[in-house]
Amino acid sequence: MARVYVAYTGGTIGMARTADGYAPQPGYLAELMGAMPELRSPQMPDYTVHEYATLLDSANMTPAHWLGIAHDIAAHYDDYDGFVVLHGTDTMAYTASALPFMLEGLAKPVVLTGSQIPLCEIRSDARANLINALLIAGAGEIPEVCLCFGDKLLRGCRSQKVAADGLSAFESPNFPPLGRLGITIEVADELVRPRAVSGLSVQALVNPPVAVLRLFPGITADLVRHLTQPPLRGLVLETYGVGNGPGDDADFIAALTEATARGVVIVACTQCVRGSVDLGAYRAGSALAHAGVLSGHDMTTEAALAKMFYLFSRGLAVDEIRRLVELDLRGELTAG
Ligand code: ASP
């Protein structure tokens, strides 16, 4: 029988009703799962739940928590066929984007899931999400970090939370789902990345100073200058459309140029839900490229940020980081 390790980090899925609203309660999720007869079905994998000492609302997650999850998976890697990470939905896409970079040589499934409604409620989406995640992790067929939610199985580093209240809360706008969870679980085998053979190792994150800046009409050069002061090392710039910005504002472009000349790595993503950056398509984008801004292609902001954390944590030279940030390392972008 397949064995699955369940890392329970917190989130709505295991919360209980309290006088102050839903809140995590130690032991409660394991108790609810223990009372689910479907989890004892012979079709289900054997599982172990490891509840974290502090159950988090995922709004409180930091890169240090991502590292804790990565180390937890690595510590149990040889004893299990797959891993489920129970996580709050608010920052699940960030964790799902960071883990693929940290888990070098991953050859087993790591499936993140959670729910919009706690498991204790009658209309909860937790039951189906949990069962699907356990089945996918136990099957061992997808040696990737993925996110299982509602009717979709997504590549983790392509995922985004798209609905604050709907039950189909996640999508991967620039990459097809790895699987569809309908009457049967249909995996798109041709999209699944090849199984690594190198053995698992964890790339630690050191929380380098990086940031995200969304362009908006009226953004000033001063704001860019303030943000890009040392110690900032990397910036994900959410640009308009195919990678455009206020290229006619010479001072704004000068502020970007000063930053990149000092070694700040600036990578452009698009503010659009779908599509890719092409800095050469318009003069308003070429101006950014001339200022030293790099193309994030079709990476999500979540993936670009996680990649910055990862690349700076490896202690690489700036030129090497500039080269790697534009390349596909974990299936996070479609190089054009
Ligand atoms: N605020 C919660 C969290 O992200 C929401 C959820 O779990 O859905 O932990």
Question: Looking at this protein, which amino acid is placed at residue 151?
Answer: D
Calculate the CA 41 to chain-centre distance: 31
pLDDT at 96: 98
Average predicted confidence (pLDDT) for the chain: 97
Give 3-state DSSP helix, strand, coil % of the chain, rounded to 5: 35, 25, 45
Active-site annotation holder among 9, 12, 300, 301: 12
Pocket test for ligand 1, best of 13, 22, 90, 115 (most atoms within 8 A of CB): 90
Question: Which pTM does this prediction carry?
Answer: 0.97
Residues 6+ apart with CB under 8 A from 279: 242, 243, 268, 285, 286, 288, 289, 293, 295
Tokens of 67: 């590292």
Helix axes 92-102 and 63-75, enclosed angle (nearest 10) = 50
| Residue 12 bears catalytic tag | yes
- How many A from CA of 125 to the centre of ligand 1? 13
Q: Residue 114: CB within 6 Å of ligand 1?
A: yes
- Largest Cα separation within the chain, whole Å, is 67
Residue nearest atom 3 of ligand 1, based on CA coordinates: 88
Q: Is the pLDDT of residue 270 over 90?
A: yes
Q: Is the pLDDT of residue 109 over 90?
A: yes
Per-residue pLDDT tens for 50-83? 999 999 999 999 999 999 999 999 999 999 999 9
Domains of the chain by range and CATH? Answer: 3-202 (3.40.50.1170), 210-324 (3.40.50.40)
pLDDT at 273: 96
Q: Is the pLDDT of residue 336 over 90?
A: no
Contact yes or no for 173/167 (Cβ under 8 A): no
Q: What is the mean pLDDT of residues 149-164?
A: 97
Q: What is the mean pLDDT of residues 313-330?
A: 97
Q: Residue 113: CB within 6 Å of ligand 1?
A: no
pLDDT band at 325 (very low <50, low <70, confident <90, very high): very high
Which DSSP symbol is given to 240?
Answer: B
Q: Is the pLDDT of residue 335 over 90?
A: no
Per-residue pLDDT tens for 207-252? 899 999 999 999 999 999 999 999 999 999 999 999 999 999 999 9
Question: What percentage of residues in the chain have a pLDDT greater than 90?
Answer: 97
Q: What is the mean pLDDT of residues 264-293?
A: 97
Contact yes or no for 216/121 (Cβ under 8 A): no
Q: Is the pLDDT of residue 267 over 90?
A: yes
Pocket test for ligand 1, best of 55, 56, 57 (most atoms within 8 A of CB): 57
Q: What is the mean pLDDT of residues 186-201?
A: 95
CA distances from 276 to 14, 297, 315 (A): 37, 5, 28
Which uninterrupted H or E stretch holds 190? none
- How many A from CA of 93 to the centre of ligand 1? 12
Which uninterrupted H or E stretch holds 266? strand 265-270
